[in-house]
Structure 1
Amino acid sequence: MQKNQMTVVKGLGLDKSFHVRKVLNNINFEIKNGERIGLVGNNGAGKTTLANLIFGRLSPDKGMIEKSKDLRIGYLSQSIDYEVSHFQQSFVGIEENELFHHASGLGLKKVYDWKENRLSHLSGGEKLKLALSMVWSSKPDFLILDEPTNHLDFTGIDWLVSELAKFHGPVLIISHDRHFLNKTVNRIFELENSNIQFYNGNYSDYREEKQQKLANQRHQYNVQQRQVEMVESQMEQLKSWSEKAHRESTKKGSGPSKRQNGFKEYHRVKAKKRDNQVKSKMTRLQNELDKHKVDKPAEEVAVRFQFDSQGKRGKRIIEAKGLSKAFADRRLFQDSHFYINHGERIGLLGENGCGKTTLIKMIIGNEPFFEGELWKSESIKIAYLSQDVADLPADKTAIEALGITERESILQARTYLANLGLTEQHITKPIGTLSLGERTRVKLVDMLMKEYDVLILDEPTNHLDLPSREQLEKTLSAFSGTIITVSHDYYFLNKLCDRLLVFENQGIKRFEMKPEEYFNKDKKNDVDHRKEALMIIENRIAAILGELSLIDQKDPKYFVLDREFNHLLKEKKNL
């Protein structure tokens, strides 16, 4: 067996339950060297549980995990709630040059000079980049990355894609980032209803194959249902005839008793025959279903979000003049001017630690210390969804955490929670037992219960599964108020936002373009320059042809113009 075909990790008959809920049921899989596997599934399907079983943080209730001898696993946890001490302890025992090299590649400058004060003011993205640097510096044989692009800026995502391309060992990636999965994986493991399914290809290939499978299953199920209905109809007819024969066999009639007895016996025999036919058809139907039963395909959850926005406010709702912000000796941005109008979809773009979340806190009033002017309309009502889901009370249920007591509001909240895929078993459990994605949904319901003019969303798709992300995109597109969002989900940001506030060179600038246009603006400028140069050349060629047509070939000027003409043709061809 070739080295790149060797099995590195194998799962055999894995079962895992939490309380009374079975998360994994008889799971079997193999991960071979060099494979790039995307582990997908709805929130709470058991993805992080399976990752922890492979890593060894959890033990299965049943079954076992087999690993190659001396396998070093680099595990990036989904949670970024690292403390300063975690980083300081991790710096010990890791080759510093290696760590600083990776940190620099991720855009973190001069990490070796960072003091404890700097480490205590890290953004979510900076924490994640340090954690990634430490995972890479540990020189693992096998990588498990749980939501690696959450909180990561586009510089970090590009670094991660290129580093994964260079990594020779197998990689297991848990992610709901469609763009990232398409760029990095070649197999998909899907967890659904406690079982595992396997697909070849990237995320788009998986979605296409799964939709085809569902369509085939739906067709086969409908065909079988028509057959069942036909047989059941035949049985109903036979039962009706049988009942009639039973009635005739007991009916009192006139005439000689011998004839009456013969009449009754005839109908008893007839009734018994019908009963046997019904029993035979029922047995054949049951045998057919036992052998070839097609289950009704589970329809994908239709997650529905619903926001209300009151009537239009004044056109300009937020404006900054000479805005500056610094922490101690570290300046985030300075002398920045921008505005936000009602109904606009604004994406905040910039590297981790540039001040995006800080600006959001300034807008909502949680960060009052800054220089310059930041005006906002007093009439607007702002909803803020933070990227931190750890602020929900762990010991309370979802309804208790929402703080609602009126019967009508509770029913409405239960409906929203159900639409988001949180069933009764989820909302009666303490929040501390829910996954991060399930907690994000609880926070979304808090926003759904109220009417807002402005939605400020800090990494809103973090921890959300794919059906929820896609539905959230559709609903936010229909929201009539203003949206300000920080997101590193390229698909989500590009679908939603048509204007940008970009953090660059310690300033904040407004751009009237979508993220896709912004990221490709250098290419566009290059194309524009080429078009302009081509137009100049073509105009000059036309002018030379006009001059050549008026002078004799023996004229010395003819030779000069002819040489310039040939030179311009070469330049035109190159362009």
Structure 2
Amino acid sequence: MPVLSTHQLSFQLDTGEWLFQNLNFSLTSRLTGLVGRNGVGKSVFLSLLLRKLTPVNGYVMSQGKIAYYSQLSSHLLDGGLRIAEFLGISNKLLALKAIEQGHCLQEYFDVIGDDWDIKNKTKHTLKTLRIDPNLNAYCHTLSGGQLARLQLYQLFNSDAEILLLDEPSNHLDYEGKQWLINELKQFSGQILLVSHDRSLLSHVDGIYQLTSLGLGFFKGNYDVYSAQSSTQTEALDRQITHVKAEQKRMERQAQTNKEKAQQRERHGNRIRKSGSQPKVLMDAKKDKAAQSRSATVINQQNHLQRNQERLRVMEEQKEVLKPQVLYLQQANQIKKRRLLNIENCQLYYGSGKPISLILSHAERCYLNGANGCGKSTLLKAIQNNHLNYSGVIELNVKTVYLDQHFGLLKLEESMLDSLIKSSKELTENTARGLLAGIGFRRDSVYRKVAYLSGGEKMKLSMLVVSHLANSPLLLLDEPDNHLDIESKQILAAALNAYKGAFILVSHDEDFVAEVRINKYIRL
């Protein structure tokens, strides 16, 4: 029986900030979701489960083989790994080739075993994954969606008993997501699914929610979690409102009692001065009033303190979220001119359809199409990263390519250094203000890029590309990937306010609908 659980798990960043403390977790359902806002620590939590990181306190207990899907597969993007090597069938293919050429050593037969049809079977599998069945192709030549499907296919068909999937639907088009949902349902082991994708989370059996307050569990799918979470938040808000109103009422009553006591004291002083009543009697009345007043004040203070403690406990149960906003630098040019001219451009890899586009200042184009049709290939061609096309691409402005894997950022740099180095015009105070807008204040700006979540890296990347000199044409390759729902809305609002030109690639129809697009290309 596979086991994965934690006890009092705590992790501290190199800046001294506690990312989370005392997390207790147990993977008991077949398919469990993990949700939380960008930067709350979901990917770090997975790294702790995999023992890639060491907790400051607490420990992880595991039993059974665990496999992991990462948002960023750098070993596939940067290396010279071929598809056959990644799938672990290179030796079998070499042995088959040797036998076909007449070499009949026993070791070749031992390597092949019963897999005489491995080549054709694998090619058929690649076709079903909508990947060119060239087993010698390099993995880095695949699109983001194709690379995701290839990795996920290998995991689902491995001997792993537990899968940890970190945002597996990123880069996938509609068909890819449907394939993923089907694989999630058919997997016989246990899965922990980290995702912002509601269509995936609607199929889970339970959801863990990670917040700055800790880890909470909700039994049921995303709809059940959303309803329960909203109910709990609304109930807590009502309790806090009630206790605050009670606090104000008690404070007003205490003030009223104090004013009445002062009035009685003044009245007694006037009688004492008039001499109409004996001094002994007046002194006795004064002592009794003082004792009564003292008891009332102590009682009121005790009530107020108890109420304040109740309020403190309730407010500790409520996550306080600072509002965020993404400030993109506005273009300096106001003269409308042609920035990009594409005439009958035909890509050697991807879509066979010729592409034509004229893009002027302040125009924004949406580039749409299925995984593998050539969207990223076209953006890289515009960026002049390759010449694998025919036709004409003319540029009258600098371009900057924001890829799906944050290639602009250096993991060892701090957020502040990354932003300041991107633009000579930025002062430290301005850079700090921009970082504060996306939720990083004071010493948190010194946090290394390596410790940022995917969503935080994307927001930092957007700041970097929009603050480069001379307002370049932005080539945005799925910038909404890794972002939670709120952050997607923030990015859409920032792009709407941006006065420069950009070309946008995205598979999220809701996000694209929120961005005011005036040109469309479908591959």
User: TM (normalized to structure 1)?
Assistant: 0.72
2:324 aligned partner = 303
Q: Tell me the CA shift for residue 86 of structure 1.
A: 6.3
The one of 178, 183, 199 equivalent to 1:158 is 178
Q: How does 1:360-375 map to 2 (within 5 A)?
A: 360-367=379-386, 370-375=389-394
Distance 1:218 1:406, change over 3 A: farther
Given that 1:78 and 1:148 are in contact with CA atoms closer than 8 Å, whether structure 2 keeps it comes out as yes
Looking at structure 2, the residues matched to 119 and 440 of structure 1 have their Cα atoms a distance apart, in angstroms, of 23
1:108 aligned partner = 131
- 2:236 is paired with a residue of what secondary structure? helix
The code of the aligned residue for 1:31 comes to: L
Given that 1:249 and 1:264 are in contact with CA atoms closer than 8 Å, whether structure 2 keeps it comes out as no
Q: Tell me the CA shift for residue 199 of structure 1.
A: 2.7
Q: Tell me the CA shift for residue 412 of structure 1.
A: 3.7
Corresponding position: 1:398 with 2:409: no
Corresponding position: 1:48 with 2:43: yes
Point out which structure has higher relative CO (alpha carbons under 8 A, 6+ apart): 2
Looking at structure 1, the residues matched to 38 and 514 of structure 2 have their Cα atoms a distance apart, in angstroms, of 23
2:253 aligned partner = 234
Q: Tell me the CA shift for residue 48 of structure 1.
A: 1.5
Given that 2:420 and 2:426 are in contact with CA atoms closer than 8 Å, whether structure 1 keeps it comes out as no
- 1:112 is paired with a residue of what secondary structure? coil
Given that 2:368 and 2:505 are in contact with CA atoms closer than 8 Å, whether structure 1 keeps it comes out as yes
1:537 aligned partner = none
Given that 1:33 and 1:169 are in contact with CA atoms closer than 8 Å, whether structure 2 keeps it comes out as no
The code of the aligned residue for 1:170 comes to: Q
Q: Deviations over 1:70-128 (max 9, x none)?
A: x22221122221243666765448998486665443222324333xxx34544444433
The code of the aligned residue for 2:235 comes to: N
1:24 aligned partner = 20
Given that 1:40 and 1:175 are in contact with CA atoms closer than 8 Å, whether structure 2 keeps it comes out as yes
Looking at structure 1, the residues matched to 521 and 319 of structure 2 have their Cα atoms a distance apart, in angstroms, of 42
Corresponding position: 1:15 with 2:13: no
Q: Tell me the CA shift for residue 458 of structure 1.
A: 0.8
- 1:113 is paired with a residue of what secondary structure? coil
The one of 58, 65, 77 equivalent to 2:70 is 77
Corresponding position: 1:318 with 2:313: no
Q: CA RMSD in A?
A: 3.9
Given that 2:367 and 2:505 are in contact with CA atoms closer than 8 Å, whether structure 1 keeps it comes out as yes
| Amino-acid identity (%) | 25
Given that 1:324 and 1:336 are in contact with CA atoms closer than 8 Å, whether structure 2 keeps it comes out as yes
Q: Tell me the CA shift for residue 27 of structure 1.
A: 2.1
Looking at structure 2, the residues matched to 11 and 483 of structure 1 have their Cα atoms a distance apart, in angstroms, of 45
Looking at structure 1, the residues matched to 464 and 268 of structure 2 have their Cα atoms a distance apart, in angstroms, of 69
Distance 1:397 1:362, change over 3 A: same
Distance 1:445 1:127, change over 3 A: same
The one of 415, 421, 427 equivalent to 2:439 is 421
Distance 1:414 1:138, change over 3 A: same
Distance 1:24 1:455, change over 3 A: same
Structure 2: runs of 5 or more not aligned: 93-114
Q: How does 1:123-522 map to 2 (within 5 A)?
A: 123-182=143-202, 184-240=203-259, 263=282, 266-288=285-307, 290=309, 293-295=313-315, 297-298=318-319, 300-307=321-328, 308=330, 314=336, 317-326=339-348, 331-332=349-350, 336-342=354-360, 345-367=364-386, 370-376=389-395, 378=396, 384-403=401-420, 409-449=427-467, 452=471, 454-477=473-496, 479=498, 482-496=501-515, 500-503=520-523
Looking at structure 1, the residues matched to 46 and 125 of structure 2 have their Cα atoms a distance apart, in angstroms, of 24
Looking at structure 2, the residues matched to 408 and 33 of structure 1 have their Cα atoms a distance apart, in angstroms, of 50
Q: Tell me the CA shift for residue 45 of structure 1.
A: 1.2
Structure 1: runs of 5 or more not aligned: 1-5, 504-575
Given that 2:11 and 2:56 are in contact with CA atoms closer than 8 Å, whether structure 1 keeps it comes out as yes
Q: Tell me the CA shift for residue 192 of structure 1.
A: 0.4
Distance 1:204 1:381, change over 3 A: farther
Distance 1:299 1:474, change over 3 A: farther
Looking at structure 2, the residues matched to 224 and 56 of structure 1 have their Cα atoms a distance apart, in angstroms, of 44
- 1:32 is paired with a residue of what secondary structure? coil
Range with greater deviation from structure 2 (105-114 or 7-16): 7-16
Q: Tell me the CA shift for residue 448 of structure 1.
A: 4.9
Q: Deviations over 1:471-517 (max 9, x none)?
A: 223443455654421223343235445754233xxxxxxxxxxxxxx
Q: Tell me the CA shift for residue 227 of structure 1.
A: 0.3
Distance 1:300 1:100, change over 3 A: farther
2:95 aligned partner = none
